Structure 1
Amino acid sequence: MPEFVDTSAVGSCIFCRLLAGEIPAARIYEDEQTLAFLDIGQVTPGHTLVIVKRHAETLFDLTADEAAAAMRTAHRVAQAIQATFQPAGLNLLQCNREAGWQTVGHFHIHVLPRHADDGVGLIWPRQEPGRDVLAERAALLREALAGQD
């Protein structure tokens, strides 16, 4: 797992510094709430990061409007990547907290063009807990969602 970069102090946040123009970036799109730029560590050609402009460490810290804005920008960037690089596929990757593989403590979405044999992997240890367990978990989540209203 990559090392987590603590950016709890906004002044030390690499993405906040990039937004402020203190760090150069290959910017490709910007609107009122988001910025998209090429990841300096290109996994595949066109690998882009979409960030929100307000410092928010994780998805849990975003407003619903910021989350929607980030996804709109990711969609727009994905369309541009498709037109430019014609990848065979595409992944959106958004990680939260160290256990979720987040490496920079500022919300971001990776828009990652995919090609056959590009070397990118994903371990997904599928589990099938059974219908009763799924029903219990679904009930808990419905209760949590109802509490958000």
Structure 2
Amino acid sequence: MYKPLGGALHVEEGRTKIVYANPVTDIEELRDPALSLTAHCFQQWVDKDHEVRVTIAGGELFAVAIHAGSEAAHIDSRSDYGAHRYELVETPDDVRSGLKRYMSAFGLTCGVADFVISPDRRWTLLEVNPNGEWGWLAHHCDLPIGQAIADLLEQGRV
């Protein structure tokens, strides 16, 4: 899979477009010498049943399953928000402790972790974004994420 490394917005022929994650269908494309001219993000495709986004605010974790209702959303959930179904889920203990170690190792207090959940229910971490989006999940799932972050700010922990 190819994912944009920085911002996903670009202008082409005077129109703003968004670059979503895309499968690399021709491995020969990876041998193109032009790829060495700039940074890229490639990840191995992981078969998925759904995704989970875990928003971390201090010691609180808010985990939401994102079930894609379209092929585009199955590849990159950002491409079709209208096709999602959301569900609050529990974060397994091993994932919770792994996130705690990760956040500590990078000196982070807040972040958003994206996981693929495979058909056999294995959790695979894709990335942790220290400035990830969480507002739409707080809205759809009535989660107090903003309050948890505000509490950390008031305590001087962010």
Same fold (TM over 0.5): no
Higher relative contact order (CA 8 A, sep 6+): 1
Q: Which has the higher strand share?
A: 2
Using structure 2 for the length normalisation, give the TM-score.
0.26
